[in-house]
């Protein structure tokens, strides 16, 4: 009922926009405030490609600037708008008081849009980090600067939201004396790449591009090879790809300058690598990113990572402790740890952020010193507003060799089940478990958020119930050990994405 009412109000709101436009020639309406009528499509950088209509329920940031300047109009700076259900493809303000109105004197303005909306910006800079290709949260970032020269007499705009990153793909092809089997389990890294930058939302340019590192590309799902999404840059001699073929016991080096002079925003560079017994040959094609998004489902571009706080960006030192009420006092997007909701006691349990020199960035290290209930002491991540669907958690972790790490996902506010735990996909258990090694391994955990059970134990299908809106609105992910003393585990990377 709540959603239906919102849709009706939204429709009336947009209708009032159109009425304002149609009556703008009357004397009385000249004194009225004229709102901006905003819609948008997710585009590629191919000018001949039609954009996809946005799916409802997405949050977009808006800026209104004086025409051809960097000066914001009134308080229209990083205003949160949302996509609508009806009519599909339009944007409306999340809060009624945040409507963007045009200057009543008829002066022209520029309106900028970006996705996804971020609240805590510094100087209108959107921070991006591509060092960790498996978990980076910014590959869905889109930007539109085409809303130029608008006014109360020209108050409608369709934003062309486009990707700002570049993509490089290495596809391995078997050459003379080599079969596809020998190209499996390859590892590809590219040296000399900038990994952090701020995107200036007002100017539409990258700034403060820093931290040159080797970037490990992510293996392709449907072919031998790997891909990476990186910052646009001019290619020089430092940009060298290392292609390691474990099944051939060979490693090849290839300089990107041989085929690429510049990585441009929104462009894909496909490097077809023909592998012979003693050499490789590379041919590169450049094309606009035509399938960045999932157009068939009217989705915006990119694979959204719902865990917005990268572990490698956490400050060094002891993490936040959830005292007594670990969730009510911890904000969304925060890593924390707790033990039976008791006073912090590092002689029992501690969780700290430290730098792991073997991988070159920060990790979360949790140490269980004494025995206790595995589901009462844990490291967690606070989240809100899940959908009634399936999600996949991918993490890179290590620990005391041969020990088990358990993960459960629990509602924070309580439901008719008192404590609702989302169901581990396929077996109706309240948790999933992985066996740790003393070196980092990647693990995949699937959870079904459409169903809950009463606690993080094993349950039959009959024990599960449909998840409520209350359970979906407020929850946390928890990682803990069984009741064994003197155990460490480390989490280096993590992502959570919706399973389509």
Nearest CA among 483, 491, 156 for reference residue 339 = 483
Give the integer Cα–Cα distance in Å for 140 and 27.
Answer: 45
Instruction: Give the residue-averaged pLDDT of 118-140.
Output: 82
CB 383 within 8 A of CB 413: no
Domains of the chain, each with CATH number or no CATH:
2-163 (2.60.40.2620), 166-297 (2.60.40.2630), 311-498 (2.60.120.260)
In the predicted structure, residue 13 carries a pLDDT above the cut 50: no
Q: If pLDDT is split at 50, 70 and 90, which confidence band does 485 have?
A: low
pLDDT tens for each residue of 353-367: 998 888 878 899 998
Instruction: Give the residue-averaged pLDDT of 44-52.
Output: 52
pLDDT-wise least confident of 122-131, 420-429, 435-444? 420-429
Nearest CA among 217, 269, 223, 211 for reference residue 243 = 217
In the predicted structure, residue 385 carries a pLDDT above the cut 70: yes
Instruction: Give the residue-averaged pLDDT of 472-493.
Output: 82
The pLDDT of residue 6? 36
> Is 200 in a helix, a strand, or coil?
strand
> Is 16 in a helix, a strand, or coil?
helix
Residue-wise burial string across 238-269, b where 16 or more C-beta atoms lie within 10 A, e elsewhere: ebebebebeeeeeebebbbeebbeebebbbbb
Phi/psi of residue 20, nearest 5 degrees: -60, -40
Decide: residue 172, CB within 10 A, 0-12 exposed, 13-18 middle, 19+ buried: buried
Instruction: Give the residue-averaged pLDDT of 440-445.
Output: 92
Nearest CA among 139, 88, 76 for reference residue 113 = 76
256: left (phi over 0), alpha (psi -120 to 50) or beta: alpha
Give the integer Cα–Cα distance in Å for 308 and 42.
Answer: 21
Give this prediction's pTM: 0.60
Nearest CA among 327, 417, 416 for reference residue 378 = 327
pLDDT-wise least confident of 66-75, 89-98, 369-378, 455-464? 369-378
Nearest CA among 181, 138, 120, 145 for reference residue 40 = 145
Joined together, the tokens standing for residue 238 give 């430092």
Percent of the chain with pLDDT over 70: 79
Give the integer Cα–Cα distance in Å for 268 and 288.
Answer: 6
In the predicted structure, residue 21 carries a pLDDT above the cut 50: no
Joined together, the tokens standing for residue 177 give 């004396």
Instruction: Give the residue-averaged pLDDT of 89-100.
Output: 90
Instruction: Give the residue-averaged pLDDT of 419-433.
Output: 83
In the block, residue with structure tokens 């490089």: 168
Cβ atoms < 10 Å from Cβ of 175: 16
Nearest CA among 408, 415, 412 for reference residue 378 = 408
Percent of the chain with pLDDT over 90: 42
pLDDT tens for each residue of 280-309: 999 999 987 654 433 223 333 334 567 767
User: How far from chain centre, in Å, is Cα 201?
Assistant: 18
CB 166 within 8 A of CB 265: yes
pLDDT tens for each residue of 222-278: 899 999 989 999 999 999 999 999 999 999 999 999 999 999 988 889 999 999 988
Residue 47, C-beta contacts closer than 8 angstroms, at least 6 positions apart: none
User: How far from chain centre, in Å, is Cα 369?
Assistant: 34
Nearest CA among 281, 265, 190 for reference residue 227 = 190
The overall average pLDDT reported for the chain is: 81
In the block, residue with structure tokens 């969780």: 351
**DSSP character for 347?**
T
In the block, residue with structure tokens 């010193």: 369
Give the integer Cα–Cα distance in Å for 399 and 207.
Answer: 38
């Amino acid at each position: 009922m709540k959603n239906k009412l919102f849709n009706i109000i939204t429709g009336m709101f947009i209708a009032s926009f159109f009425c304002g436009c149609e009556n703008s020639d009357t004397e009385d309406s000249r004194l009225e405030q004229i709102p901006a009528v905003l819609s948008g499509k997710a585009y590629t950088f191919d000018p001949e490609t039609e954009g996809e209509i946005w799916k409802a329920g997405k949050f977009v940031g808006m800026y209104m600037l004086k025409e051809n300047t960097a000066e914001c109009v009134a308080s229209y700076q990083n205003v949160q708008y949302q996509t609508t259900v009806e009519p599909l493809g339009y944007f409306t303000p999340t809060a009624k008081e945040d409507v963007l109105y045009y200057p009543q004197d008829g002066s022209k303005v520029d309106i900028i849009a970006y996705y996804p909306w971020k609240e805590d910006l510094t100087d209108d800079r959107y921070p991006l980090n591509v060092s960790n290709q498996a978990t980076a949260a910014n590959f869905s970032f889109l930007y539109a600067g085409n809303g130029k020269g608008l006014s109360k007499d020209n108050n409608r705009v369709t934003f062309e939201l486009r990707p700002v990153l570049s993509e490089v793909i290495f596809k391995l092809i078997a050459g003379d004396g080599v079969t596809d089997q020998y190209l499996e389990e390859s590892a590809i890294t590219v040296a000399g790449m900038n990994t952090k930058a701020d995107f200036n939302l007002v100017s539409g340019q990258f700034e403060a591009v820093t931290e040159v590192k080797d970037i490990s590309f992510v293996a392709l799902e449907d072919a031998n090879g790997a891909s990476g999404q990186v910052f646009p840059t001019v290619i020089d001699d430092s940009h060298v790809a290392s292609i390691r073929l474990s099944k051939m016991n060979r490693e090849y080096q290839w300089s990107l300058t041989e085929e690429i002079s510049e990585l441009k925003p929104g462009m894909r560079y496909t490097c077809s690598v023909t592998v012979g017994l003693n050499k490789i040959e590379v041919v590169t094609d450049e094309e606009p990113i035509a399938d960045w998004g999932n157009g068939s489902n009217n989705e915006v571009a990119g694979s959204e990572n719902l865990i917005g706080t990268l572990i490698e960006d956490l400050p060094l030192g002891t993490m936040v402790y959830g005292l007594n009420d670990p969730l009510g006092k911890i904000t969304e997007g925060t890593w924390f740890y707790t033990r039976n909701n008791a006073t912090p006691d590092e002689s029992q349990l501690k969780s700290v952020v430290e730098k792991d020199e073997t991988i070159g960035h920060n990790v979360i290290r949790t140490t269980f010193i004494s025995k206790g209930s595995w589901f009462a002491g844990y490291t967690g991540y606070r989240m809100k507003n899940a959908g009634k669907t399936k999600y996949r958690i991918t993490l890179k972790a290590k620990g005391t060799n041969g020990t088990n790490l358990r993960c459960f996902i629990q509602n924070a506010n309580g439901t008719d089940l008192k404590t609702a735990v989302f169901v581990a996909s396929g077996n109706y258990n309240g948790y999933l478990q992985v066996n740790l090694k003393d070196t980092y391994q990647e693990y995949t955990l699937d959870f079904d958020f459409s169903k809950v059970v009463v606690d993080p134990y094993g349950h039959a299908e009959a024990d599960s119930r449909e998840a409520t809106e209350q359970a979906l609105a407020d929850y946390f992910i928890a990682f803990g050990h069984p009741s064994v003393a003197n155990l460490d585990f480390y989490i280096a990377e993590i992502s959570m994405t919706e399973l389509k």
